[in-house]
Structure 1
Amino acid sequence: MPMSSSHSPVTTMSATTNCCSSVRCATWGCSAPGDHAAGRSGAPEPPRSTRRVRRRICAAYIRRRTMPITELDQRLTGQIVLSNRTYERLRALTALGTRFPGTPGERAAQRFILDELRAAGLDPTIEEFEHLAWERGSASLSVTAPVTRKLLCISLAGAPSTPAGGIDGEILYLGNGTPAEFDRHKDAIRDRIVLVTSLAPRQECSPPRQCHRRTKYGRAVQYGAKAFLFMNSQPGMLPQAGSTRQNREGEIPAVTIPFEDGEVLKSLLKAGPVSVHLEATNRNYPHTTGNIVAELPGTDPDHVVLVGAHYDSHDNAVGAIDNGTGVVTVLELARLLSESGVRLRRTIRFVLFAVEEMASVGSSFYVNRHRDHLDQIDLFMNIDGIGQQGAKTFDTQGFDDAADFILDVAKDIDYEMTIPNPAFSGDSLAFVMGGVPTAAMKGSKLRSLFGHQNLSTGEDRGWGHTSADTFDKVEQHALHEAAIIAALTLIRAADHPTRMARTRTKAEVDAILRETGMDTVLSFMQWPSIDVRPKE
């Protein structure tokens, strides 16, 4: 859809042409023949014959296009690729170490973000809140029968300590911990130590949060388990961290173990009962932190597009993919739009959320704090874990009018997107619960700008929440692609002539949750513990 007339339009080719998109023309440097943008960022310069063909394609594209696209589109796209600021900023952010709440790395990340926003000419503030923080102590897990063997483990965040001397119990393996597997064995769970994998198989987990770690933990608690073992489904001797409850201590001890040690337990279980001994010491304490907020004013101050990313990571990871990629993407959007001098209709609010990894605490406090003004937020764009290769799309969380807007954007920029089934993940959920139209960037199997394929099944986290979520795992061009699509979507949302999607009432939100099965998920998660419901 066209941008407002306050920007100088140029023409690009028809949205029905598949050989080149408006985004590709900017990336290929069509406005400056022979200047290959990707080559400047480190990729090899294509042969002269290839550059000649690309220029002819783009020239034809420009002649045939009837839908306007602004100079701002081309400027943002070119600067994202040519400057490579997102990638280098990610290198610097991950060098700070873990950004887990209460650690020196969290404070260093706050200073880093504030400095970047100020350098972009913005005036950021910190909206402070106090929450229940958690500190990991020691944990040990040993097989005591039919053999003796020590296993690698770390506690899940928010889990309580074991009683003095630890706990002993018999393992009950429930596979991937799907609702069906828990239901089949619910009468056998009491006083057992439940073992599940981290996998969330698509066919059995709809919505995907039915097989989220916190849902599995909640089921184990409700059915009377003595403790909870969470096995990474990906090999590499990597325990996969994660949280148990939001802003309160969990009910039973919980540890995560690597794939290989989980396979040891599964192998022993084939021969008969397996007993283990578990000890863990952890600490909860009150901690003050904050969400970082900056604004780029629009011509209509009563309407806002909010774009956000969480800046924390787990304490076993530097969180390059999750969510360093989201942080640096939001910072780049803030820099580029601030330096452009453009003023769009809606105010753009950039928010870097704290404590997402502890069950979306920061975004929940944000929604709670702004409950009287949630109807001013026309769209929340969540950028989380987007650094893996492949195309991008947006999950609109069951908001059909937000989905229509995203598909209109896709058509306008000639970038293929389909809307996935709602996942209600991360910071998106707090805004959905508040009735705010939401679009969360996700990976897609469709055509990528840079020719890369998304190989993820979406059924597990890959490197996420492990010590292997490091800078080298982020694909440079995937980060560029995410920033480009986020930028082009953001400016269309901010300058849309009418409201893209309407705020939902509490009753309408409840209907979405029921229709998608999220009401059951939230009951097992016992989420939220912070009030995020809209005021009636």
Structure 2
Amino acid sequence: MQFIKYLTLGVALSVGNINADANESIVDETQIETAKQLVQTALKSDLGFQIVESLTTEVGPRLAGSEAEKRARAWGKELGEELGFDRVSVEEFTMPFWDRGELELSLTSPYQQALYGTALGGAAPSKKNINADVVYFRDIHALMGVAEGQLKGKIAFVDGDLMVKSQTGAGYGQANQRRRVGWQHAERGKASALMVRSVGSDSHRFPHTGMMSKNDDKWASIPVIAISNPDADHLRRLHNLGKPMSVELSSSSKWKGEVNSGNVILDLVGSETPEEIVLIGGHLDSWDLGTGAVDDGAGVAITTAAAALISKLPKRPKRTIRVVMFGAEEVGLLGARAYAKKHEDNLKNHVLATESDFGAQTIWQLVSNVNSEANPLIDEIGKVLSPLGIVRGGSEVPGGGPDIIPLAAKNVPTIRLNQNGMDYFDLHHTPDDTLDKIDPEELAQNVAAYAAAIYLAADSDVDFRKPLP
């Protein structure tokens, strides 16, 4: 396996003598200057792009629980060792493995036409080829009103609207309901299968996959297929013309038992308070239709590269910086939950956490959810990031990223460097999630922001933690 050859950083990083009185300033001029140097170094470095290029090219798609995700963990461990992290480890956990299998899907009435679709995570296989009439539902709310047994022997199709492109991804949660819970209502109606409009904002014939929700700890017992937005548009037009529709499908997706997954842990050990941890990361797994460049190879690359640049300083920051490449995020935050459980007794020492998992476009906003007395430091971080086009947002914004949810639930403070997600739902969970969608300069801006922000947080004595409720 060919790995990244670590490059000369281009700008010398240094730490001067600290003369400021800590009681007079929450952050001193030397730390500010070091953070600014990190920004300039990161903007001139292509390390982040090298990392995501290596992951997507040498490992490829990384379905949670698959052999490819196992190879990705080996890749992450080797990368951490090559980049000089002080501690590198893999924390394994077990998980159920769902495999996509093969899908054949076509319109058979009013005429023959291939449809572009993909099985949704957790879907059952078809026991035999299904060729059945389609019952159209304008949206998920219409399907929710179906009577028990009303759809027996039919294929339900839930339409919806194309997601509006948005910097923040607004609208995803509502649109995602048809993907997550539609199967429960289709099964109540005794449907043979369910098709849903893809949850995405693109107009290409690329279906969007994703995980469904369980119901009383049970998964779907019927095939559930997401079809591309243009195909959904086509079915709507046929319905509006009053044309009876039939579809033939055969799907072999299924659960395949328990397997191992894991989280890759890379530590830069703090120089003064190593027991205190500033955690950053992204998720190592991806859906298998593309190569997982945007979701979330970019996040792994951004956070790893940022920490690697900090590692080249003459002295480690006071606190430990921990990069976590979370496993099995796409199938229910399994790696994040496993991490929170394994480190439950030490979460009080996790002083700050954040994740990069919203693509690879530029960061535009810094938000936080920390002790009010720590907000002045977050404000100072905001000032350092301002030349990157990043504005200081809210100071009581829960979050930090999907994999940070289990930590935040245990009172771990968070920040979030919000990215421009205008193209995110064009790409994520589709065959179009590939390396060519990442702009190296935009990725470098992300690395610069993370490097400066995390350095200042880790080299601080400020307590970000809120009092326990």
Q: TM-score range by the shorter chain?
A: 0.7 to 0.9
CA distance in 2, matches of 1:207, 1:501: 29
Question: Is 1:435 aligned to 2:397, yes or no?
Answer: no
Contact in 2 for aligned 1:126/1:292 (Cα 8 Å)? yes
CA displacement, residues 342-372 of structure 1 (integer Å, 9 cap, x when unaligned): 2323221111101111121111111122222
CA distance in 2, matches of 1:436, 1:75: 29
Aligned to 2:8: none
Amino acid at match of 1:210: G
CA distance in 2, matches of 1:198, 1:469: 22
Contact in 2 for aligned 1:310/1:356 (Cα 8 Å)? yes
Amino acid at match of 1:254: V
Aligned to 1:81: 43
CA displacement, residues 9-41 of structure 1 (integer Å, 9 cap, x when unaligned): 799xxxxxxxxxxxxxxxxxxxxxxxxxxxxxx
- CA 1:438–1:159 in structure 2 vs 1: closer, same or farther (change >3 Å)? farther
CA distance in 1, matches of 2:337, 2:131: 34
Match of 1:256, SS state, is strand
Question: Is 1:187 aligned to 2:145, yes or no?
Answer: yes
CA displacement, residues 412-446 of structure 1 (integer Å, 9 cap, x when unaligned): 443442437767853133333333222333224xx
CA displacement, residues 240-275 of structure 1 (integer Å, 9 cap, x when unaligned): 121113797445422122222111111111122534
Q: How does 1:477-492 map to 2 (within 5 A)?
A: 477-492=441-456
Q: How does 1:19-98 map to 2 (within 5 A)?
A: 69-96=31-58, 97-98=60-61
Amino acid at match of 2:407: F
Aligned to 2:213: 245
Aligned to 2:101: 137
Match of 2:70, SS state, is helix
Deviation at 1:161, TM superposition (A): 1.4
CA distance in 2, matches of 1:214, 1:424: 23
Deviation at 1:68, TM superposition (A): 5.7
- CA 1:153–1:185 in structure 2 vs 1: closer, same or farther (change >3 Å)? closer
TM-score by length of 2: 0.80
Amino acid at match of 1:108: R
Deviation at 1:405, TM superposition (A): 5.4
Aligned to 1:271: 241
Amino acid at match of 2:51: R
Q: Which moved more, 1:364-373 or 1:161-170?
A: 161-170
Match of 1:414, SS state, is helix
Aligned to 1:236: 204
Match of 1:461, SS state, is helix
Contact in 2 for aligned 1:228/1:252 (Cα 8 Å)? no
Q: Which moved more, 1:412-421 or 1:92-101?
A: 412-421
Deviation at 1:67, TM superposition (A): 5.8
Aligned to 1:522: none
- CA 1:275–1:287 in structure 2 vs 1: closer, same or farther (change >3 Å)? same
1:469 to 410, 426, 433: 433
CA displacement, residues 87-127 of structure 1 (integer Å, 9 cap, x when unaligned): 12222221121122244432332222111211222221110
CA distance in 2, matches of 1:169, 1:364: 42
Contact in 2 for aligned 1:162/1:253 (Cα 8 Å)? yes
- CA 1:145–1:434 in structure 2 vs 1: closer, same or farther (change >3 Å)? farther
Contact in 1 for aligned 2:368/2:414 (Cα 8 Å)? yes
CA distance in 2, matches of 1:478, 1:238: 25
Amino acid at match of 2:197: F
Aligned to 1:376: 349
Amino acid at match of 1:187: G
Match of 1:362, SS state, is helix
- CA 1:194–1:200 in structure 2 vs 1: closer, same or farther (change >3 Å)? same
Q: How does 1:112-261 map to 2 (within 5 A)?
A: 112-122=75-85, 123-166=87-130, 168-175=132-139, 177=140, 182=141, 186-188=144-146, 191=151, 193-197=156-160, 199-200=162-163, 208=171, 210-211=173-174, 213=176, 216-222=179-185, 224=188, 226=191, 227-231=194-198, 232-245=200-213, 249-261=219-231
Question: Is 1:282 aligned to 2:253, yes or no?
Answer: yes
CA distance in 2, matches of 1:311, 1:404: 33
Deviation at 1:85, TM superposition (A): 1.4
Aligned to 2:71: 108
CA distance in 2, matches of 1:470, 1:212: 24
CA distance in 2, matches of 1:381, 1:323: 14
Match of 1:95, SS state, is helix
CA displacement, residues 440-495 of structure 1 (integer Å, 9 cap, x when unaligned): 33224xxxxxxxxxxx547x612222122111110111111101111111012212
- CA 1:207–1:481 in structure 2 vs 1: closer, same or farther (change >3 Å)? closer
CA distance in 2, matches of 1:313, 1:163: 28
CA distance in 1, matches of 2:371, 2:107: 48
Aligned to 1:351: 324
Q: Which moved more, 1:124-133 or 1:227-236?
A: 227-236
Contact in 1 for aligned 2:143/2:185 (Cα 8 Å)? no
Aligned to 1:315: 288
How much identity, in percent, do the aligned residues show? Answer: 23
Question: Is 1:99 aligned to 2:69, yes or no?
Answer: no
Aligned to 2:9: none
Match of 2:136, SS state, is strand
Match of 2:251, SS state, is strand
CA distance in 1, matches of 2:105, 2:67: 29
- CA 1:194–1:368 in structure 2 vs 1: closer, same or farther (change >3 Å)? farther
CA displacement, residues 126-171 of structure 1 (integer Å, 9 cap, x when unaligned): 1000001111112233334444433122111221113334373533
Amino acid at match of 1:188: V
Match of 2:402, SS state, is coil
CA distance in 2, matches of 1:436, 1:305: 10
CA displacement, residues 393-412 of structure 1 (integer Å, 9 cap, x when unaligned): 24547997887754442134
Which residues of structure 2 form unaligned runs of 5+? Answer: 1-14, 21-27
CA distance in 2, matches of 1:384, 1:303: 24
TM-score by length of 1: 0.71
Deviation at 1:306, TM superposition (A): 0.6
CA distance in 1, matches of 2:133, 2:468: 47
Contact in 1 for aligned 2:351/2:464 (Cα 8 Å)? yes
CA distance in 1, matches of 2:267, 2:319: 11
CA distance in 2, matches of 1:332, 1:396: 22
CA distance in 1, matches of 2:241, 2:61: 41
- CA 1:343–1:9 in structure 2 vs 1: closer, same or farther (change >3 Å)? same
Contact in 2 for aligned 1:137/1:283 (Cα 8 Å)? yes
Q: Which moved more, 1:409-418 or 1:340-349?
A: 409-418
CA distance in 2, matches of 1:95, 1:206: 28
Contact in 1 for aligned 2:88/2:264 (Cα 8 Å)? yes
Contact in 1 for aligned 2:158/2:178 (Cα 8 Å)? no
CA distance in 2, matches of 1:252, 1:493: 49
